[in-house]
Structure 1
């Protein structure tokens, strides 16, 4: 498995946007496929926002993004690890953990001391196992979410 920048596989952008809308649409019910594609097209290679893909010989396995803001109702912290997605067939094989570690390392390289994410309760233990800590618990529309934080090692 290797991690590459989305810009190196721009032909996958429509498929990635569709996967993101399908996976995260309940958190953002007004988010459209066209908006998801536009957001991915605006990604940078060496800055924020940026998206990386995990791939192997079989193709695209998953993605993760580094964003300034991840939801319009949560603007108190920045930047965010966002849109962690792993294809169903690739789950349980370390793809997600590899993508998270890559995003944290890239945030550190960009001078980000603390990185945030939000998730629903079932994912809290998994992120804790990767070194993240609970930062806040909030209500986001009908969903109870946990904001988590990790120190990147950048001072």
Structure 2
């Protein structure tokens, strides 16, 4: 597996946008495939926010993660965000998600980001805790109550 910037592999834009829409569209009911694709296409440099990386297995993508200034305007009190972690069902439980999370945290450290956030539901808190993230806040987000987690990317213990 290799983790690479999506902007260098734009042939995967549409299929990744379709997967993101299916996985995350429930939080944004008016979000369209065209909007998802345009958002991902705007992630055009890996050295600045927003950016997205994909995990490649050979020539095919198996997962993705994004580094965003703002993941959702309803929770803009925290910034920046690890967002849209997605691993294709046939590639799960092989460490791809953890590798993508670590890659994003390392990229945030290179960008001198002091604190990085993500949000998830309660069931995923233990997963992220194993990756050195800490619960930071609990918030309503549309129909969900989410846990905002945080990590300090430059911390040598991460």
On whether the aligned pair clears a TM of 0.5, the verdict is: yes
How far did residue 44 of structure 1 move? 2.9
Q: Tell me the TM-score normalized by structure 2.
A: 0.95
Partner secondary structure for residue 73 of structure 1? helix
How far did residue 154 of structure 1 move? 6.2
- Aligned residue runs from structure 1 range 38-57, under 5 A: 38-45=38-45, 46-57=47-58
Question: Residue 111 of structure 1 contacts residue 154 of structure 1 at CA under 8 Å; is this kept in 2?
Answer: no
How far did residue 43 of structure 1 move? 0.5
Partner secondary structure for residue 40 of structure 2? helix
Residue 137 of structure 1 corresponds to: 138
Alpha-carbon distance change, 92 to 120 in structure 1, aligned in 2, over 3 angstroms: same
Distance in structure 1 (CA, Å) of the matches to 2:92 and 2:86:
10
Moved over 2 A (4+): none
Residue 26 of structure 1 corresponds to: 26
Instruction: Provide the alpha-carbon RMSD of the alignment.
Output: 1.3
Q: How many residues align?
A: 155
Distance in structure 2 (CA, Å) of the matches to 1:27 and 1:119:
12
Q: Tell me the TM-score normalized by structure 1.
A: 0.96
Residue 125 of structure 1 corresponds to: 126
Residue 2 of structure 2 corresponds to: 2
Distance in structure 1 (CA, Å) of the matches to 2:3 and 2:67:
14
Residue 113 of structure 1 corresponds to: 114
The reply to whether residue 78 of structure 1 matches residue 70 of structure 2 is no
User: Which moved further from structure 2: 39-48 or 12-21?
Assistant: 39-48
Unpaired stretches in structure 2, ≥5 consecutive residues: none
How far did residue 151 of structure 1 move? 0.7
Distance in structure 1 (CA, Å) of the matches to 2:122 and 2:48:
30
How far did residue 153 of structure 1 move? 1.2
Partner secondary structure for residue 49 of structure 2? coil
Distance in structure 2 (CA, Å) of the matches to 1:5 and 1:121:
29
Question: Residue 81 of structure 1 contacts residue 116 of structure 1 at CA under 8 Å; is this kept in 2?
Answer: yes
